[in-house]
Amino acid sequence: MAATIGRAGSRSRPLVGITASVHGSRIAAMANRLALWRAGAASVRITVDAPFPIERLDALVVGGGDDIDASLYGESARPHIRIDPDRDRLELLALDRAARLGLPVLGICRGSQMINVHRGGSLHVDIHEVYEEAPHMRTVLPRKRIRIEPDSRLYRILGIAECRVNALHHQSVDRVGDGLRVVARERAGIVQGIEAPAEPFLIGVQWHPEYLIADSRQQALFRRLVVTAMGEAPLDEIAGVAPAQ
């Protein structure tokens, strides 16, 4: 799954950058690369130690990992929470450049939160301090039920109003950033999906679709990202289900 040339020249597959921590999970990296390869794209891992020109990408995935520095959205840092300020700066800059270039962007878990912070939004530093009735759940298996707004792009991609997803987070979107809307929540009210209606593809999901490799609906997120990166018109039935009327 070697990376191709990208926007700077001819390529057989669109090139998607995946941001990650320097010491990020190899399993997560492999899962994202596999999902993108199956969707028709090549990929390149982007870290502080291994940067890559955003101008050469066709799309961007802002991946999962450590928490975001709370000072970026006006909150106090917690001493027991691990942060990576260098990665924060890398991703904010990547999102700036992606916006200028009009690249499609998918945020996964931390990446969804980073999209929100980049747009001026804030986060709940610890969801269980706010949503006391929310179950304490941490699993790569699809155990958490969420509901998706039927008039959203996320719904048109997944083709379903309710589904089960995995959960590997303890933070979530609080105040929504400029130009974004909440398009998915779990029963307790925790935000599970955001998107920018005015953009061709700027979506953040709080779960990890890369781990749900057998779920064709979840893999449709990667397919739509790649389709958009190729400059093709969005396919509202990409998941095999017609959009709501």
Give tens-digit pLDDT for 121-163: 999 988 767 676 767 777 788 899 999 999 999 999 999 999 9
Do residues 77 and 66 touch, judged by C-beta distance below 8 A?
no
What pLDDT score does 242 carry? 39
Catalytic residues: 109, 208, 210
Q: Is the dihedral of CA 86, 88, 89, 90 positive or negative?
A: positive
What pLDDT score does 48 carry? 96
**Burial class of residue 8, CB neighbours in 10 A (0-12, 13-18, 19+):** exposed
Strand-pairing partners, residue 44, are 17
Q: Tell me whether strands 15-19 and 42-46 are parallel, antiparallel or unpaired.
A: parallel
What is residue 39's DSSP assignment?
T
Domain 6-229, architecture per CATH? 3-Layer(aba) Sandwich (3.40)
What pLDDT score does 74 carry? 87
Residue ranges in the chain whose pLDDT is less than 50: 1-5, 8-10, 235, 237-245
What pLDDT score does 80 carry? 65
